Structure 1
């Protein structure tokens, strides 16, 4: 399923062109599966959404066991067919918490990371998870967590490296981290970094530069902003709206296209629970931004 020699899922062009992730050639636009939890009562529709994405050339999908307490992973397991060449990326560092004030709780201790990997393997039906991101609480959207969950990075990486050596995971990534944490983790062979980043939230530009220097995939989440109250939205920016009108596309597509143009290390994982929105996200990869439009968008701060 993850071999370099395995045939691709379909003959469709890779959305957004070609990128690199964990030593693999992948489409630059993948699929973030979190929102599939919204289709909890319509499992066939969720499976069809995934299958169609794969048929359209999407060959990497981002998920986590704590998305619906294994529900989303189960969808991916059911949607994948023998011979599919889809790279599955998961994350650990949090767990579902239906009874708490937040839908998830922090689970940062090494033994919790190991338990998280075992849950991923079970719900995905895999012998090895290709890529696992360590979801830290150093940057981006965080939730309150007690002192006993403030675990040293080296202890966490040691556990993940042991799991990689045991063949349970293929590669290690990071999520919600600072540049300092990323530098400290480099000896572990980090293959990707996921942080909140968009046209209107570029505080992590130095981290993106570090990923570029180290040839690490940059996978922004919240790529259009606006995910939580008070967060700026890319689609509200006058320059984005004007560009969309000129190009005959949506403001959201402009925001995604800008991310692809801004750095060749960028891989996108936009999520949706509707087929029309998913196709619009994939179409953003074919949008060309001329120099004047890029200059106007780059000027947004």
Structure 2
């Protein structure tokens, strides 16, 4: 049975089933109050890894988590991301990896999360218009200054991961991945081989046709939901996988976190492993 925890960068041990804060509404009103309650309930349920980003509400999501959870429990790791510029009157949101912009976003993230160091900072996207060494070099300088604890990447290929590892110590990769969406299988395998945390976003893929039937069948056998089965499959896929399911509902949050205790047989896992989207 795979461990329920993982040590990110060999230093920060977290429970492998985390929480993605992207879906939490941040506008003033009842929905925001629910968001605060969801974040607090996640910690109560033992979640020790929460994922956010500057892009999620252009800082509002980070501020929401700070309001809900600061001062943070010692074992809680709040990971954030930089590298996307907000939309303006004359352009849409865009990847932006110039060093001065990344430095500014890191400083803003420190302020919004009310911390002196971002324990895990991931580059949201690699900017193809800026040399990778410049982007990662700027973040490495901030790491040396003590503003960043560990560095990770998001939505990268195997070759990009290899190139990045020549510049920085990459401790995490956040790519889209699920039982039915395995486009980045090779990236996960590379992370597995290197002991790098792999944080799949959108870990529960909407299933259809025969896949839905098979997932439902395994769920019925286990007395679980299809979403719980999908998360349990990910946890069994590799010990470096740290799913970060997101929700704005306490009920769904409790359902998701319970998936960490689900135990399927090797035969059930193999039946699910044969599935693909379609």
- Using the size of structure 2 for normalisation, the TM-score is 0.90
How far, CA to CA, are the matches of 2:146 and 2:115 in structure 1? 11
Structure 2 counterpart SS, 1:184? helix
> Once the 2 structures are TM-superposed, how far is the Cα of residue 224 of structure 1 from its aligned partner?
1.6
- After TM superposition, list the pairs within 5 Å mapping 1:108-257 onto structure 2: 108-136=97-125, 150-187=129-166, 188-226=168-206, 237-257=212-232
**1:285 maps to what in 2?**
260
How far, CA to CA, are the matches of 2:210 and 2:18 in structure 1? 21
**1:20 maps to what in 2?**
7
- Using the size of structure 1 for normalisation, the TM-score is 0.83
Structure 2 counterpart SS, 1:34? coil
CA contact (8 A) 1:38 1:273 kept: no
Query: In angstroms, what is the RMSD of aligned CA positions?
Result: 2.2
**1:76 maps to what in 2?**
65
How far, CA to CA, are the matches of 2:153 and 2:230 in structure 1? 23
> Once the 2 structures are TM-superposed, how far is the Cα of residue 80 of structure 1 from its aligned partner?
2.0
Which segments of 5 or more consecutive residues in structure 1 lack a partner in the other structure?
1-15, 138-147, 227-231
Structure 2 counterpart SS, 1:267? coil
> Once the 2 structures are TM-superposed, how far is the Cα of residue 69 of structure 1 from its aligned partner?
2.0
Which segments of 5 or more consecutive residues in structure 2 lack a partner in the other structure?
none
Closer/same/farther in 2, CA of residues 236 and 98 from structure 1, 3 Å limit: farther
What does the per-residue CA deviation read over 1:171-200, in whole Å, with 9 as the maximum and x for residues that have no partner?
A: 110000000010111131111000011111
> Once the 2 structures are TM-superposed, how far is the Cα of residue 247 of structure 1 from its aligned partner?
1.4
CA contact (8 A) 1:19 1:25 kept: yes
Instruction: Tell me which moved more, 174-183 or 206-215.
Output: 206-215
What does the per-residue CA deviation read over 1:36-69, in whole Å, with 9 as the maximum and x for residues that have no partner?
A: 1366533332222111111111111111122112
Structure 2 counterpart SS, 1:20? strand
Closer/same/farther in 2, CA of residues 100 and 291 from structure 1, 3 Å limit: farther
> Once the 2 structures are TM-superposed, how far is the Cα of residue 35 of structure 1 from its aligned partner?
0.7
From 236, 261, 271, the equivalent of 1:296 is 271
- Give aligned pairs, total: 270
Structure 1 residue ranges, 4+ long, deviating more than 6 angstroms after superposition? 232-235
How far, CA to CA, are the matches of 1:156 and 1:41 in structure 2? 38
- After TM superposition, list the pairs within 5 Å mapping 1:23-34 onto structure 2: 23-34=11-22
What does the per-residue CA deviation read over 1:186-222, in whole Å, with 9 as the maximum and x for residues that have no partner?
A: 1311110000111111122221121112111011111
How far, CA to CA, are the matches of 2:272 and 2:239 in structure 1? 17
How far, CA to CA, are the matches of 2:235 and 2:59 in structure 1? 31
